[in-house]
Structure 1
Amino acid sequence: MTALDDATIVRLRSVPVERTPQRLDPLGVQSAWALVPVLSVVAVGYALYSTLTHLDQSRDPVLSWVAFGLVVVAAVVFPLRAHPGRPPVGLWSHLSIVGTCVVAASLFSASVWGANQRVQDDWGQIVVAVFLTAMALYRPIGEVLAVASVAAVILGTTAAFEASFLTIATNPVVYFTVAATPIMALACGGCGYAWTMTGETLAWREVARAGQERLEPELRDTAKRIVNQERITTLNEQIVPFLADLVQRGEVTPEDTATARELAATLRSVSVAAVNRTWLGETLAQALSARGEETGALRGVDRVDDPDRLERGFTAEQRAVVGAIIATVAKLPGLDPASVSIAATTPSAPAFELRCRSTDGRRAVRGELIPFVSALRSVGMNAGMRQVGDQLTVRFSYPEGENR
């Protein structure tokens, strides 16, 4: 029995993944990342405009600019934190970014307290709403709505207490609604889009999984035929002609004995390679064959050091991303094909290292691989890459503790 038993495989494949667009469709969300800095610029621009127009109503201008500075901090942190090159956005990042905006909005309200004429043109509720709209791509819908509700209550309550100072005298509940509605409306809009996106992604996965289950018996039979064909090829091209020559000559020479040993070793190696055939080996061999290297499907075994078959823990999504990484590395123009290898270690928390030599520039390599490294993080694995000189290492592993 290998170190990776059935119970371990089930545990690895059962690592919980949050139901968010970033987790379920990481490459799709990466393409939408440009929306985050755009919305951040919009939020900062509106906060600046509103701050300037409220200067004549400000009792503490310094506090107004401090509030604006906090918005700038959140607007810088959010795009950086959500960048495809970083791990998925977590709960604490969500709370920190939105919390900073809520604190900034509260400070702005305090700076104009008693002199503010209208809450409709205050920037607090709009800025918070804009950030929450984009956050729905990165965090669970329930969490985003909960944070939006808390923010709406805080800013709505603040607006309600300002009612007695405002130009238009009306029921405080009206001002509560005025301040809270933009937050909830835009948050619900972003969550609605995220709900549709995740629903369609999950539906597509079910269709793909069903198709894979239907094709699995056929693929297994195809693999058996390939193995048999490789053995038959070896027999027809080497062993049969050798035996025919022996029969024709009617004698066995010392050279024939040596040749028989070599052919037996060849046949044995083919059989062993067939038994040790792995998904990683097949994938690596096919990727290298695509660039013209002379390597058959069985040669991939020589490049993969995975004696415990840790690759069996991969889910379908993880295999898709790992396969994309291998294919991308194999296509690097400056790659030395002979240097490519994959090593697997630590059965309790399987870790894989893809190593190779490439003369391609660091920026070009990162541009090719970072989207897939980020995608691996989004499907429940730790992943990273390092390039020192011409040595490139891509590492991906299962988390040892709780997946966050």
Structure 2
Amino acid sequence: MTVLGEAAIVRRRSVPLERTPQRLDPLGVQSAWALVPILGVVAVAYAVYSTVTHGGQLHDPVLAWIAVGVLALAGAVFAVRTHPARAPFGFWSHVSIIGACVVAASLFSTAMWGSNQRIQDDWGQVVVAMLVTAMALYRPIPEVIAVAGLAALILGATAALQAPFLAISTNPLVYFTVAATPIMALALAGCGYAWTMTGETLAWREVARAAQARLEPELRETARRMVNQERITTLNQATVPFLADLLRRGEVTEQDARRARELAAGLRGASVAAVDRTWLGETLAQVLAARGEEASALQTTARVTDPGRLERILRDEQRAVVGAILSTLAKLPGLDPSSVRIEARDPEHPSFELTCRASGGRRQLRRELLPFLSALRSVGMNASMRVSDDKLTVRFSYPGGENR
């Protein structure tokens, strides 16, 4: 494996991401996911109620109930596609869901064409507006406004064309405005919230980066002192007593020579491990220490295979999610701590593989780890997990990298 160059690191770290709450705060948006199925249920319930109350105006009741079915399908797909296990939510999912809602609303209008009395109590513009509101959590603001604008244009035009048949005779532009306004109003409200949320997240990141830059010299000094302390501890526990015993006895035996070679090899290995210590190794040491395993960062670094130091390409939010995965893994009741290994590979398309043995069931492991895998996918990485007997394998990589 070749060493990843600085230019490649910059290139990988600079992959542009969409400015959406799901991309910038994936764990936060996961907690808000329950809003999506609730909106879907409310939208379908309102559509059913409106269809029943419009019974006297329907000249094609079958078509009206087909419209409700199409809406229910769109709401179900929206809930499934935005589920944390299926992140990120893409452009075509956005377009297809809103498009299905517009088709459903148009079918309902067609079922009453020529006999509809009022536009205000039709359910089409209301349910489209409700679902558009949540889209700003998952898609970029310009895209949400564009799709909402197209939906408002279609439903507004449909309402305007019905003007000659409505109970109140007025300018068709009025009915266009009545149908289009709820969609655009709620779309803009959702986008305003998303803009504020992403802005606050980005501002917090800048503050965190500035604080990290100020603390970096102190952190480096702290790390140097920790390495020195570990070396001193090693000397005090083994080397110093050995030398003191030699001085007391005043002679060197063949056994002493072998012991001296063993101590020298141990010190040399500790020095090499100190040079090779990585963020992944230190993080692993911390989470296993929280579980009760007594292992230093130098010892756990040996469980991390990363000769190219690919860990350096991880952005701050990716490190946070990876750290959360390791922390969750360490808390699994059936985990064998000594089996935890991390391997980094493929400098061109960096990928990371975490393996361990855990006796917990497949369902429990998936329930614990899927939120974090979803967060990795939300910030632009591929992520997957596989459970085979008692062996758990988690892979995360950059697009184009290994993700088998």
8 Å contact from structure 1 (residues 280, 311) kept in 2: yes
Task: Map 1:2-401; keep pairs closer than 5 Å.
Answer: 2-400=2-400
Partner Cα separation in structure 2 for residue 27 and residue 387 of structure 1: 23
Q: TM-score, normalised by structure 2?
A: 0.96
The 3-state SS of whatever aligns with 1:85 is helix
Letter in 2 for 1:195: W
The 3-state SS of whatever aligns with 1:290 is helix
How far the C-alpha of 1:94 sits from its partner, in A, is 0.3
Q: What do you get for the CA RMSD once the two structures are aligned?
A: 1.4
Deviates more, 1:142-151 or 1:46-55: 46-55
**How many residue pairs end up in the alignment?**
401
Partner Cα separation in structure 2 for residue 218 and residue 53 of structure 1: 70
Q: TM-score, normalised by structure 1?
A: 0.96
How far the C-alpha of 1:61 sits from its partner, in A, is 2.0
Partner Cα separation in structure 1 for residue 234 and residue 279 of structure 2: 23
Letter in 1 for 2:243: L
Partner Cα separation in structure 1 for residue 217 and residue 378 of structure 2: 30
Runs of 4+ in structure 1 off by over 4 angstroms are none
The 3-state SS of whatever aligns with 2:121 is coil
How far the C-alpha of 1:337 sits from its partner, in A, is 0.8
Partner Cα separation in structure 1 for residue 104 and residue 3 of structure 2: 53
The 3-state SS of whatever aligns with 1:354 is strand
Write the deviation string for residues 162-204 of structure 1: whole angstroms up to 9, x where unpaired: 1001111000000000000110111111111111111111111
Partner Cα separation in structure 2 for residue 48 and residue 243 of structure 1: 87
How far the C-alpha of 1:2 sits from its partner, in A, is 4.7
8 Å contact from structure 2 (residues 3, 307) kept in 1: no
How far the C-alpha of 1:356 sits from its partner, in A, is 1.0
The 3-state SS of whatever aligns with 1:392 is strand
How far the C-alpha of 1:54 sits from its partner, in A, is 2.1
How far the C-alpha of 1:44 sits from its partner, in A, is 0.3
The 3-state SS of whatever aligns with 1:387 is strand
Letter in 1 for 2:175: Y
The 3-state SS of whatever aligns with 1:52 is helix
Partner Cα separation in structure 2 for residue 145 and residue 136 of structure 1: 9
In structure 2, the gaps of 5 or more residues are none
Percent identity at matched positions?
71
How far the C-alpha of 1:241 sits from its partner, in A, is 2.9
8 Å contact from structure 1 (residues 2, 309) kept in 2: no
The 3-state SS of whatever aligns with 1:156 is helix
How far the C-alpha of 1:386 sits from its partner, in A, is 1.9
The 3-state SS of whatever aligns with 2:114 is coil
Partner Cα separation in structure 2 for residue 327 and residue 300 of structure 1: 14
Partner Cα separation in structure 2 for residue 174 and residue 248 of structure 1: 104
How far the C-alpha of 1:285 sits from its partner, in A, is 1.4
In structure 1, the gaps of 5 or more residues are none
Letter in 2 for 1:76: A
Letter in 2 for 1:34: A
Letter in 1 for 2:256: D
Deviates more, 1:1-10 or 1:223-232: 1-10
